[in-house]
Chain A
Amino acid sequence: MFGYIVRRLMTAFLVVVLVSMVTFTLFFKGPSDPASALCEETGGRCTAAELNSIREQMGLNDGLVVNYSRFVKGLFVDREMYYQGEQMCEAPCFGISYGSRQPVTPQFVEKWPATVSLAVGAVLLYVIIGMTLGSLAARFRGSFFDRAVVGVATVITAVPYYVLALVAWIVLVLQLSIFPETGYHPFTDSPVLWASGLLLPWVVLAFAYAPANMRYMRGYMVESLGEDYIRTARAKGMSQQGVVFKHGLRAAIVPMTTIVGLEFAVLLAGTVFTEFLFEIDGIGWWSINSLGNPIDFPVLNITGTAAAVLIVLGNLIVDLLYAVLDPRVRLA
């Protein structure tokens, strides 16, 4: 078990390194040039000599390998960076944002709680709703309830997410004022404000994610309820509820952890449209804003790396959970 985790962490590390190399290379060889944008911004007229001196100061003339190794070194030791003047970038340094002119690492640390709050609340909500409705639909398979739940789920899935979220916001906040204004307030400042600002985004995300999870849950439950051991449990004299919600549910939960675990990792890496629409200053919104001219590469670099780390770790945690939940699985 311990050896397995160490080996998995090593491969996870390799994957993250590869992702960061690819990201770095794409930016460095791509068309976006922070130096020329900076040059035009300062002087109005940008001569070739000026541009070259800016490129020299930013280190962009030194080539990909040198720049990447500087970046890696900056992750471990503080680093001097130039962007309109010298700045200290404390380790772990992902660079200085071209937009805010501040090191991105503290900004990430500041923005991530908003994204985490959004993801945790939404996952809790849609897992409870999706799994409850899914297992009930499987329990009463073929009934009116089952058909209604599956039908509604299909309709919701067919609506594009941005339409769903936009309509919810316009109707529920702007027109009817059923939900409070959205936005992120740190939990430590005021738990009430924190919850009220995130309430609608949670509901909207749950509304969008629950149908698919309901369908998965229903499918796994229908499968497990058809197993021989369910017949054994019934033959023992167990009630229908006991059979479904003890023996059936126990088996269906195992594959569900895979799906929910990976969805959760993706949500933690930032929800672009949700954060943008509901004005939640998280990393999804931050990274989408970084796609201007020039591309704010340090921001993109740190959010991309974070996403890679989360997905790789999410996979590992799901696999470990599998071994806990299914006694037949042994990790080696």
Chain B
Amino acid sequence: MTAIDDSFLPADPSTSKGGPVLVVDDLTVRFPTHDGLVQAVSGLSYTVEKGKTLGIVGESGSGKSVSSMAVLGLHDPRSTRMSGSIKVNGAEVIGASEATMKRIRGNEVAMVFQDPLTALHPYFTVGSQIVEAYRLHHNVSKKVARARAVEMLDLVGIPQPDRRVNDFPHQFSGGMRQRAVIAMALVNDPGLIIADEPTTALDVTVQAQILDLLQSLQREFDSAIIIVTHDLGVVAEMADDVLVMYGGRGVEFGPTKDVLTRPSMPYTWGLISSVPDVHERSDQKLIPIPGTPPSLLNPPAGCAFFPRCAHKDKVGGDLCETELPEFLPLAGNPAHLKRCHLHDPEQIYVDEVAPEIFADASEKLEN
């Protein structure tokens, strides 16, 4: 909490610029199914400060999309069990009324989805969908909203926006559609944008443009961004902080540079070693993580990653199998957290893992 007395703040929490935009605390999301309870997200906590970018990384089923959809309350309450706390500009989301959620969605927190082809309604024009988003939160005439839509399309780099505003989504290319989705997300100037794999469905050449666009708009609008991705390259380019998720939990968190240069958790090592490096020789070996992600119906006792962990022998006894490691700061670096039993992961990374990952590079140096 900030030092300012709450009573001095305006009643509308969206205008309170004091604290972080988003605080997620001990979030748990579960889906009851016929086969049992799917524990999609367990004990997840993170904070996003105004104007900052958080990257959430993880493989399919790690809970990264589920947790970000929970921020907008997009899970059907009839088939979802949630506990913990999600505060958007100080307002609690979990258990909030539909009226509160309607005000938050699109206005304080907006979302950019993975596949811009299916995220836009095929039967409504791009313009009318942006107009609709604007008028849900602003009591203005259609004409004013339309002018705003044209302005937004111009801002995201759609050529001839006053004409293209009347186009249907299928008349846009993939990259343009994603630009339109971003325009729609930004139309209400939200404090937080959640981008759920915004470049996964796009061509590689377009991906970079979209990331650049997001970054420049972030500077212009001063919004915070959560970028959900499985692409470490995206994280390296975009994110100030990074949260690595595995089996529905946060397993490593810290400033991006820290996490990528001094990763402290075997799963993160695995992620880094499975990224191809196009600057190196094309016959470079990729080192995949062995095994498959854990079942969220019956997550392993202890650390969720131990069945795939190559370093569990270095932990004494059967600690990995029986006890869930706590999410604790590294010694000497309180901003960098890890969920791992290894005592000195940094040393193991430097001595064993890094040489393996960068073997090709060192070979080349020797020759």
A residues with CB within 8 A of B: 142, 227-229, 231-240, 247, 250-251, 254, 325-328
Contacts and interface: CB of A to CB of B under 8 A. Distances in A.
A298 to B, nearest CB: 47
A233 B121 contact: yes
Contacts of A228: 113, 115, 118-119
Contacts, number: 75
Nearest to B136: A237
Given A229-B119, A235-B110, A328-B168, A240 B98 contact: yes
Contacts of B102: 237-239
Given A232-B121, A325-B123, 8 more contacts: A233-B132, A235-B110, A237-B105, A239-B98, A247-B121, A250-B121, A254-B123, A328-B170
Interface in B282-302: none
Contacts of B110: 235-236
B106 A250 contact: no
Interface string B244-277: 0000000000000000000000000000000000
B123 A250 contact: yes
B132 A327 contact: no
A326 B122 CA distance: 8
22 contacts: A228-B113, A232-B111, A232-B184, A233-B132, A234-B72, A234-B74, A235-B74, A235-B111, A235-B113, A236-B133, A236-B136, A237-B106, A238-B102, A238-B132, A238-B136, A239-B102, A251-B121, A251-B123, A325-B123, A327-B122, A328-B168, A328-B170
Contact of A237 (B103, B122, B170): B103
A236 B132 contact: yes
Interface in B324-361: none
B50 interface: no
A79 B269 CA distance: 94
Give the most central of A231, A233, A236, A327: most B CB within 10 Å. A236
B112 to A, nearest CB: 9
A250 B181 CA distance: 20
Most B CB within 10 A of own CB, among A142, A227, A228, A247 = A228
Nearest first, the 8 closest Cβ-Cβ pairs linking A and B are A237-B106, A228-B118, A237-B105, A236-B106, A229-B121, A235-B111, A236-B133, A327-B168
Contacts of B123: 250-251, 254, 325-327
A231 B137 CA distance: 17
B99 to A, nearest CB: 9
Contacts of B111: 232, 235
A125 B325 CA distance: 64
Contact of A235 (B78, B105, B124): B105
A283 B72 CA distance: 59
B120 interface: yes
A322 B170 CA distance: 16
A163 to B, nearest CB: 39
A140 to B, nearest CB: 10
Nearest to B114: A228
Contact of A229 (B118, B133, B137): B118
B120 A229 contact: yes
Nearest to B187: A236
A326 B124 CA distance: 9
A231 B124 contact: no
Contacts of B243: none
